[in-house]
Structure 1
Amino acid sequence: MVCPDCFAGYEKPEVDPKGYVTTLHGLQTYVVEPEGEVKGIIVMVPDAFGWVFANNRALCDNYAKKSQCRVYLPDFMQDTPVSVTILPLLNNILRKNSWWNTLWKPLYVAQAIYGMAPFIYYNRFGSSWPIVKSFFTSLRTHEAASLPIGAAGFCWGGKHIFNLAHGHLAPNSKPLVDAVYTAHPSNLAIPAEIEKVVKPVSLAMGTQDFALSVEKTKEIEKVLKGIEEREGVESEVVFYEGAGHGFAVRADPGNKEVGRMAVAAEDQAVEWFRKCFAKVAY
């Protein structure tokens, strides 16, 4: 199911990327190096706007600066992300306080559908999961053979994050990831995809997320806590009061409170990886 909130939000007005672009394991990849010794690797599995979206690159920059980790943002969508031109269209569709906007809404909807269709078609989980899994397998075999790996996923990327946490192994018998973090994931199979988790999971959710309700999130939390009690796999679920879907990446720059929560979610991810990586030794 596709929710309009998955494609709504705001692009940061001014972003000065700190990283560089290279080709890594067959995918174009945005890379950010930390200052000093590399403590681990964080891979972002992004929202529908993909690896070129300024907000996603800015988030990678912040992760690298705060965590002392190298950060990768690969083109998992292979040049089929949603265009940022969809953002104002979806914001207009979701806005309810203008008769003029209501008059034009059918046109906005048609343009949005046209813009989203290629992404939805080419990036179904059955098509994208092998690409994501292959990248992490190669990463573990090469650059991260002796470093911890964390995966951070948003919206579209969240489903991949939970699947990465299922304990898949690389050819060197090491796990593809050591810990995962996701904010406002979408299209999850609950509880099926949650019950298979064997790696530490941190989840950031807004209480006004219409793609994944508070009730469903609490169901996820209950399953994760059960796994923690039985298997000792750590987890955390943090609710952000009043935040909606996409707040950790596409927050309204004019809303200071939502902006504060976006930064808090960013810090949640960094602290989670720092905590989990400290327990990993290869």
Structure 2
Amino acid sequence: MSFTDCCIKGFEWEGTPTGTEGKLGDNDTYITGTNPDVAVLLIHDLYGWKFPNVRLLADHWAREANVTVYVPDFFGGEAVDLGHVEANRWDLLRPFIARNAREIREPEIFACARVLRPKYKKVGAAGYCFGGWACFRLAAREHDPPLVDCISVGHPSLLTKDDVDGVAGAAVPIQVLAPEKDPVFSPEMKLHTFQKLQELGAPL
């Protein structure tokens, strides 16, 4: 599977998002669900927080799992040029990616989790592609107490061995959805993730 097949040849789901737009800390945020005790911080992929699919997914989780889901904007009000994405023009996308590098967005992501932490009894985080590395960082043992109670990631991009090595072990359960063929989450990273999480005692 090529990167284009995995991340670009997607489709837009049918339906109309039912949540509302508000704030989570300083970030504009899509909010859906009404559970006062359990929240999920859903970290979007390259398509951003306004892409209908991510909002419809948030709505589905809110209904099916009875959680309140927050989808903050972690691209600073900017949206990726979908035409460039669909044309696989990464040369034109590099400036956008640089403006939203993990080193830039990580403090915002931590800040949003810190707003949720005292408000809810349980806080989970989920992320696909761009959101994957961020969830691992939220699960890092450097946070005391933990910022989240569990994470779920799919096809994590920009993930490093240090991110995996730094998780809080048994304190934060981790779910990793890894396609058999993934140009971003390489076989080497999959193996390291699987072995290291077992070594750290992380519930899988």
2:124 alignment partner, one of 143, 146, 150 = 150
Instruction: Please give the residue correspondences for 1:130-209 in structure 2 after superposition, counting only pairs within 5 Å.
Output: 130-141=107-118, 143-144=119-120, 147-169=121-143, 174-190=145-161, 192-198=162-168, 199-209=172-182
1:49, distance to aligned residue in structure 2 (A): 1.0
Q: Helix, strand or coil for the counterpart of 2:45?
A: coil
Using the TM superposition, give the Cα deviation of residue 24 of structure 1 relative to its aligned residue in structure 2, in angstroms.
2.3
Q: What code does the residue aligned with 1:207 have?
A: E
The alignment's TM-score, normalised by the length of structure 1, stands at 0.65
Matching residue's letter, 2:123: I
3-state DSSP class of the match of 1:16? Answer: coil
Once the 2 structures are TM-superposed, how far is the Cα of residue 66 of structure 1 from its aligned partner?
Answer: 1.3
Aligned residue number for residue 14 of structure 1 = 14
CA pair 140-84 structure 1, distance change in 2 beyond 3 A: same
Separation in structure 2 between the aligned mates of residue 182 and residue 188 of structure 1, nearest angstrom:
11
Q: 1:159 to 1:205 in 2, by over 3 A?
A: same
User: Which runs of 5 or more residues in structure 1 are unaligned?
Assistant: 91-108, 236-282
Q: SS state of the match for residue 158, structure 1?
A: helix
- Does the alignment pair 1:23 with 2:1? no
Q: CA RMSD in A?
A: 2.0
Whether the 8 Å CA contact 1:155–1:184 is kept in 2: the answer is: yes
Provide the C-alpha distance between the structure 1 equivalents of 2:5 and 2:109, rounded to a whole number of angstroms: 24
Amino acid in structure 2 at the alignment position of 1:10: G
**1:113 corresponding residue in structure 2:** 91
2:196 alignment partner, one of 201, 223, 226: 223
- Determine helix, strand or coil for the equivalent of 1:41: strand
Name the residue aligned to 2:64.
Answer: 66
Measured after TM superposition, the shift of residue 39 of structure 1 is 4.5
Q: Aligned letter for 2:104?
A: S
Q: Which amino acid aligns with 1:196?
A: G
- Aligned counterpart, 2:44: 46
Counterpart residue identity of residue 165, structure 1: A
Question: CA shift at 1:80, angstroms?
Answer: 2.5
AA aligned to 1:73 is V
Q: In structure 1, what is the Cα distance between the partners aligned to 2:6 and 2:25? A: 28
**Counterpart contact for 2:29–2:72, Cα < 8 Å:** yes
Which residues of structure 2 form unaligned runs of 5+? Answer: none
SS of structure 1 residue aligned to 2:180: strand
TM-score (ref. length: structure 2): 0.88
> Structure 1 residues 148 and 13, CA, compared in 2 at 3 Å: closer, same or farther?
closer
Shift of 1:213: 2.3
1:273 aligned residue: none
Q: What is the DSSP-based 3-state SS (H/G/I as helix, E as strand, rest coil) of the residue aligned with 1:77? A: coil
More helix by share: 1
Larger radius of gyration: 1
The answer to whether the 8 Å contact 2:39/2:116 transfers is no
Q: How far does residue 140 in structure 1 lie from its aligned partner after superposition?
A: 1.6
Q: Which residue of 1 aligns with 2:203?
A: 234
**Identity fraction in percent:** 27
Q: Which deviations, in whole Å up to 9, do the C-alpha atoms of 1:86-142 show, x marking residues without a partner?
A: 44323xxxxxxxxxxxxxxxxxx4xx532x23421211111110111111112223x
